[in-house]
Amino acid sequence: PEWRGAGPSASASEGLPSRAYLERFPPAWLTAFGRTPAGAGELAGLIARVRATCAELGVPPPAAAVDLEQGAGLHFRGAPRLPPALALASAALAAEREELDWIWAAGELTAREARAAGAELVLAPVADVNTQRDNPIIATRSFGDRPDAAGARALALSMGLRAGGAGSCAKHFPGHGDTVRDSHVELPSVPADPSSLRARELVPFRRLVEHGVDCVMIGHLDVPALTGERGLPSTLSRAVIEGTLRGELGFRGTVVSDAMNMGALERFAPRYARALAAGCDVLLCPHDPQVA
């Protein structure tokens, strides 16, 4: 379940899990949003309040996961805000700095700031290879359009996060870079054949898995070359999660779904049971936690 500071686009007012919900279904994790139209909000205080409520109820306090692709300042007031991934890499090159050292440092700084604010898991790096120039949702969030370079940069950020004391989450498996649709709104299609996927989309994820990334986020993507079924989201596909990610790539960490309240899953029911059956360990942002 999610908690939101007042002002994000999805919520005009503060949104916290109810006391009754926390008592009946104490979650191991919560995902937090502090980004508002005016900038980062007071998210650290909300995290502390939820944990204080759990302490009063005598249930274990949840860990916090936050989307900090552009540094802790994306959601936490007073923390540094960094450029998006592609700009970060470009800035390093333009300044004639060691590119991967620069990106590692960004990850380490993000982790230190996140932990100080109360978050243990950073929902980054983006490991998508952005080969589609009309991509409406990944674009500069990706580390580039070359698989090896994108993989090396994503790994540098992940290792920096680890050095700073936070977990990392590679996303959006098996790759959201070659799409012209936004999965927040509808189910995007990835038309590549199996050999193209392995030579391009899977390269950064394979590298991150080999170096022990903590979590991998499954994207809501129609990838028939892997699912074997046109129109089936990867999040609901055992072939993608257990077959490709765990079987072929050998991932042994935690599998996290992308937000379960996104438009790509709107017509798929029962979405929560199907995602668990497919192999997801954590279901992110249910549209209604009580129903979920």
Write out the catalytic residue numbers.
184, 258
Alpha carbons 245 and 127: distance in angstroms, whole number: 14
For β-strands 167-173 and 215-218, DSSP reports them as: parallel
C-alpha 155: how far from chain center: 15
The Cβ of residue 173 has, within 10 Å, a number of other Cβ atoms equal to: 32
Q: Are 257 and 282 in contact (CB under 8 A)?
A: yes
Where is 30: in which H helix or E strand? strand 29-33
Residue 260: C-alpha distances to residues 75, 83, 233, 244 (Å):
20, 27, 11, 21
| 257 Cβ neighbours under 8 A, 6+ residues apart | 217, 218, 235, 275, 280, 282, 283, 284
